[in-house]
Amino acid sequence: MILAAGRGERLRPLTNSLPKALVEVRGETLLERHLRALASAGTETVVINLGWLGEQIVECVGSGSRYGLNVVYSPEGEHILETGGGIHRALPMLGAEPFLVMNADIFTDLPLTFADLGKHDAAHLVLVPTPAGKSSGDFDLVDGRVRNGENPELTFSGVAIYRPEFFADCEPGRFSVVPMLREAAAAGRLRGSLYDGTWSDVGTPESLTALKD
């Protein structure tokens, strides 16, 4: 699943007329880059949630056939559901097995492969070194387990593998996945890995300009 419903407030005015997933970096939109990477990794079906200017995404991607993918859509209309709510809404399209979720607004060369989940693991998070300029990290990684910390050193990349059961007790509506991840980390139910290659959160005009330089 690719999370592409957000407004991209920090990228305005560019995103006043363009969904952030269709922002171009080095001659290709972020979304197209992700779709090509997913196809290269052997993915067959991709769910994309839609919100702000979602019709432009449908027009650009269509069925996904030109990428060698079957792309289906989970429209959220004007009531964007955030990360947790968006994933929960799309669960019927995602099947009964663990699935990969990634944010549309990242630029990365991260290999989009599946990591094994242990019997009691709710998810696997890919973490990255905290970028300069970010006040603090999100999590720590200790012996392959994601931990909460007082001064966490690593940042959640926006790429994760989830069990569908992780969302089983959630109610439909707007909510973030982050509190759920923190609870799972505290319970020792999050696996993780560190990726120290190319990765950027394309969240501001400054970060976008840096990628184009």
pLDDT of residue 213: 53
Q: Which domains does the chain have, with CATH numbers?
A: 2-212 (3.90.550.10)
Give percent above pLDDT 90 in the chain. 71
pLDDT digits (tens, 9 = 90+) for 107-120: 999 988 877 788 89
**Nearest-5° Cα angle at 164, 161 to 170:** 115
Q: Is it the case that residue 35 has pLDDT exceeding 70?
A: yes
Give percent above pLDDT 70 in the chain. 97
pLDDT digits (tens, 9 = 90+) for 167-199: 989 999 999 999 999 999 999 999 999 999 999
Tokens of residue 32, six digits: 């197209």
Handedness of CA 24, 44, 111, 90 (dihedral sign): positive
Question: Mean pLDDT over residues 26-47, rounded?
Answer: 94
Q: CA 115 → CA 125, 161, 207, distances in Å?
A: 10, 8, 29
Q: Model pTM greater than 0.85?
A: yes
pLDDT digits (tens, 9 = 90+) for 47-104: 999 998 889 999 999 999 999 999 999 999 888 999 999 999 999 999 999 999 999 9
Tokens of residue 79, six digits: 């009531």
pLDDT of residue 205: 67
Q: Is it the case that residue 11 has pLDDT exceeding 70?
A: no
pLDDT of residue 14: 65
